[in-house]
Structure 1
């Protein structure tokens, strides 16, 4: 059995949905059971979020404008791809009902003047709800017994609205109960990605890009043989091709390598996707919807032993280093505990940490967009210490980027870090901070954001990543 997920660009318009339907039709007719997971049409989730925020701020026509936007996008595809007039009328009614439900929710936000995380999760789920109905109807028009399934009936999560985590064993029981009979009847479930529900039924989302995660969760729950992530690129690449034109697609990487790359900015897959699949050893394939003949990248338990030390280089621009500097009157351990308790309460993600005990300072990296929130929280926590001079200052170094060099071959291989930093030195690129994980899968460093366009190509060339094997 195979779970196949299609991202926003794969269902972005009539042409893309036609191609997605071709892929699913071929997979279904091969005889192997298939479950599809679909994202919202590209741009729809952003519009849902914007309309909800506008309604909360007092815009009275936000709900009606959103309803029309949703119908215009989805009914244009129905008109082009659903040819049976009876089915076209039926799916039009269904889409109108879903859009109206969404509009009523947005109107309630306007009336209350408040957009809670719970309400926001419910509203943004409507992009996938409409997409699954749309894709199912196109397949039905081609003679495939597709069934739209809403994932709040299948995926059970905790109540962390906006970034929920699945309750895997409860999801396993629910998925087999809901999807098992459909598969036994040779139906093709078209499941909504991105969201699930708490045990009490409140809709939760899995974080932006969470449809990848949804597919992996369902792969775990259904004991799938493989999970295929269909997107608009050929697979995981050695670097961003916009920075490195000679970057190539990697035929295979490990779950651990893929997790590192996703965490440090590679947008081809959601960072949490690997965990459920890895628990059961289910391979994940990254494939291009628009070039299905390309073999793509296989993500599995083991890395490919192709002689390469470094597999790929990725970067996160738009970050800042925040430093907390003590005077020596506070213990470093005390400062560290208080800093990360405080940062944890803000919910902000920390990419790197570095500490110099002799200087009584602690630094860490966050998104630049989050720095104001973090600085305010730290200044409040250390207000008395700052007044008494026990903490000298808390400051931000902005306009930086994290670059990560990733590869399982680095483990136990001497000289990799030296080669990385020698390359940076030869290109006169200054390093702000350095970190290496104990797994030896990743060397990360912080540089000025404008230097990324020089640093990534230089390291890519130094390790011969444009070739099939290391130079």
Structure 2
């Protein structure tokens, strides 16, 4: 004999019930079946709502009652076509009339007792099971309906009654001993006390009903039919990459269900455990899917972790004080107090010094628990031997579960380091002696990040998901997105990095997709997005609270550069080609670097100097390895190098600057490049990264532009001034030619002083043959004394800048 249980979603409507009947019919051909069904989906909640509404003397309970009636009659109308429909409707009307009487009583008395609530809630399963029984009888004439209350007996603890197994097993065995029917259908969740009062087995108790029956008849197997393909490695609604677990032990399943895996009601396993009856978790809507097998034989694929689960809405209560050290009975008094108030303890941890005890309970029990504990220890609190207990709400418990965890070293370390890298603060830790689970208490807001991070670490072949929030999609930004789109598959297969762009923003619009933006359509999606709002962008990015989040600034905007600290303090990495932040006041620069270290959020700005060239990265390695920089000489402006390399007698300075802008080598305001401020910022960044303190004002800027050009307020006037001063630029070119030199805008740092300016470069200088938009940097250090370390290559252009940003993102992924 097999026992099958179908949950609320499986019997949500006539269509789903038809699928259930198909499954039952097929399985009844090989074995006799016991079938347990839940209430129609949502009905138990409606019954609870109607009960509480009535007890508050709110007449709206009648509307909720009518909705309950309508839902059931709709199922009857769609499902039952036999001549028994009228008889069934009569039975349902009688049941619903009794329900109405009970609710009317709650309304008149203005109260709802646990005993009355049990009776009211029982109608969900009673109504659904009688409807399904009639529909099943047409398909399988030898099927029967049996009221569970007649054969499952409990104590009178209304709300979550305790089963009397001695009486119950005898009643079940005696009943099924003489039953010839192919299928016996029973309502789950409900039972009765010894004196005949209706009781319930706790929310989710239909699983428990099925398990009680399976153990009593020594069933071949127990099948729990639901709406998912088994138990998952994590909650698939939160962790999209979660996978069904093919095989799991009873103990592992109990741990996962205790820690919130809602596919299985925790007490379900206990009745079948001793008889070694296997439990199958199956999907009503994909009956051919393998599902999950729960048994004594838990097969493993080498991963000691079977699943990650969590419990939400937890409160942590801490009681501590010197008066607990060495005093026997403190723990007994604490737990006895909670037991007397029927407060369930979910989590316990105690310091070895006995100085403190931490317990986790449901949020709704927190205030009652605090009052009870403080009352119990009021003498010790008054004597300052123990402090009044501290309550922290809105927490979650996250647990790693696996039978073989005890045989693998370092799992705790991996768990804690993974959470720590993503700035998930652990409030408490517990690990049983069996080492079957490691549990941590964290803030509720971090649960999604924690579950995804841990799942990524333990189940996804170490594939790391990077979530990008991109501001600025001009020339460089567009190239950056195109590069991600082209390389996405390669990165996942070869570097185990999964890049998702969650948000895009330009000056007009912004667009968010928490599942990741479809990059082939990003332009259209952004155009259809909401109005750009920097503060809202920050808020939404923080609200997502994804692991490995990266804010990517591809603007030259001063205001954007001022918001980096808001991301770093929330463990969101910052990658930027915007030079303003790293070249701002030294205290701000240092603050950003300190925040990066404190909150474990990388702050990378490789493209601030040399676009895609690895200048800053190379410099960092020099400093970290103990080298010291004494002198820097560099041509750091690809735009200025392009301009002076192409400036000639036949190609005017004005025209070359125009062309540089068209090709994307200059900022939208070319004066930023030509004034030398851009180069000053770059050398300042290199000086600071070399370990020196310097402000932008300390750098001497020997500008080659006439003052009138510098004083213009818009591009039109600026270009007009370049034409006006043509002779000035032609004179510079003539001087260079006369000296057999080339014009280069050079940045220099030596002996604690820095300057930038146009220089005449002789033919024997390594700067002389610098072509196109190339940059070059020479570092003179303790190790590179006579021959400097030289880095040379393209230092401007949308594609190379985008590749530099991309490289910074990859650096974060490889951390």
| Residues 1:227 and 2:226 are matched in the alignment | no
2:21 is aligned to: 21
1:41 is aligned to: 40
1:347 is aligned to: 342
| Residues 1:193 and 2:197 are matched in the alignment | no
Structure 1 position 232, deviation (Å): 0.6
Structure 2: state its 5+ residue gaps.
463-495, 497-815
Structure 1 position 305, deviation (Å): 3.0
CA distance in 2, matches of 1:304, 1:211: 28
2:373 is aligned to: 378
| Residues 1:204 and 2:203 are matched in the alignment | no
1:159 is aligned to: 156
Tell me which of 295, 298, 304 is aligned to 2:290.
Answer: 295
| Residues 1:130 and 2:127 are matched in the alignment | yes
What are the residue-to-residue correspondences of 1:77-226 with 2, within 5 Å? 77-84=75-82, 86-182=83-179, 184=180, 186-226=181-221
2:241 is aligned to: 246
State the TM-score, normalizing by the size of structure 1: 0.94
CA distance in 1, matches of 2:416, 2:325: 34
CA distance in 2, matches of 1:200, 1:465: 54
Structure 1 position 89, deviation (Å): 0.6
2:363 is aligned to: 368
State whether residues 374 and 388 of structure 2, in contact with CA within 8 Å, keep that contact through their aligned partners in structure 1.
no
Structure 1 position 198, deviation (Å): 1.5
Tell me which of 247, 250, 257 is aligned to 1:255.
Answer: 250
CA distance in 1, matches of 2:67, 2:177: 35
CA distance in 1, matches of 2:352, 2:437: 24
State whether residues 98 and 126 of structure 1, in contact with CA within 8 Å, keep that contact through their aligned partners in structure 2.
yes
Tell me which of 403, 407, 412 is aligned to 1:412.
Answer: 407
Structure 1 position 148, deviation (Å): 2.2
Tell me which of 385, 388, 403 is aligned to 1:390.
Answer: 385
2:742 is aligned to: none
Q: CA RMSD in A?
A: 1.9
CA distance in 1, matches of 2:197, 2:321: 45
State the TM-score, normalizing by the size of structure 2: 0.55
CA distance in 2, matches of 1:259, 1:36: 23
Secondary structure class of the residue paired with 1:10: coil
| Distance change >3 Å, CA 145–CA 245, structure 1 → 2 | same
State whether residues 50 and 65 of structure 2, in contact with CA within 8 Å, keep that contact through their aligned partners in structure 1.
no
Structure 1 position 49, deviation (Å): 1.5
| Distance change >3 Å, CA 363–CA 143, structure 1 → 2 | closer
Tell me which of 265, 269, 274 is aligned to 2:264.
Answer: 269
CA distance in 2, matches of 1:65, 1:113: 18
Structure 1 position 61, deviation (Å): 6.4
Secondary structure class of the residue paired with 1:363: strand
Structure 1 position 96, deviation (Å): 0.8
State whether residues 317 and 359 of structure 2, in contact with CA within 8 Å, keep that contact through their aligned partners in structure 1.
yes
Structure 1 position 181, deviation (Å): 3.0
| Distance change >3 Å, CA 442–CA 311, structure 1 → 2 | same
Secondary structure class of the residue paired with 1:32: coil
Structure 1: state its 5+ residue gaps.
none
Structure 1 position 66, deviation (Å): 4.9
CA distance in 2, matches of 1:237, 1:398: 28
| Greater Cα radius of gyration, structure 1 or 2 | 2
| Residues 1:57 and 2:52 are matched in the alignment | no
Tell me which of 287, 292, 307 is aligned to 2:302.
Answer: 307
Structure 1 position 375, deviation (Å): 1.2
Secondary structure class of the residue paired with 1:285: strand
Structure 1 position 287, deviation (Å): 0.4
| Distance change >3 Å, CA 463–CA 330, structure 1 → 2 | closer
CA distance in 1, matches of 2:364, 2:5: 30
Secondary structure class of the residue paired with 2:10: helix
2:3 is aligned to: 3
Structure 1 position 67, deviation (Å): 4.3
Secondary structure class of the residue paired with 2:397: strand
Mean alpha-carbon deviation: is it higher for 214-223 or for 417-426?
A: 417-426
Secondary structure class of the residue paired with 1:280: coil
2:465 is aligned to: none
Residues 274-323 of structure 1 deviation map (CA, whole Å, 9 limit, x = unaligned): 00010211001000111111010000112113211111101112212111
Structure 1 position 359, deviation (Å): 6.9
| Distance change >3 Å, CA 111–CA 466, structure 1 → 2 | farther
CA distance in 2, matches of 1:9, 1:462: 32
State whether residues 83 and 141 of structure 1, in contact with CA within 8 Å, keep that contact through their aligned partners in structure 2.
no
Structure 1 position 357, deviation (Å): 5.2
Residues 145-176 of structure 1 deviation map (CA, whole Å, 9 limit, x = unaligned): 33222111011112221111222231121112
Structure 1 position 37, deviation (Å): 0.3
Structure 1 position 100, deviation (Å): 1.1
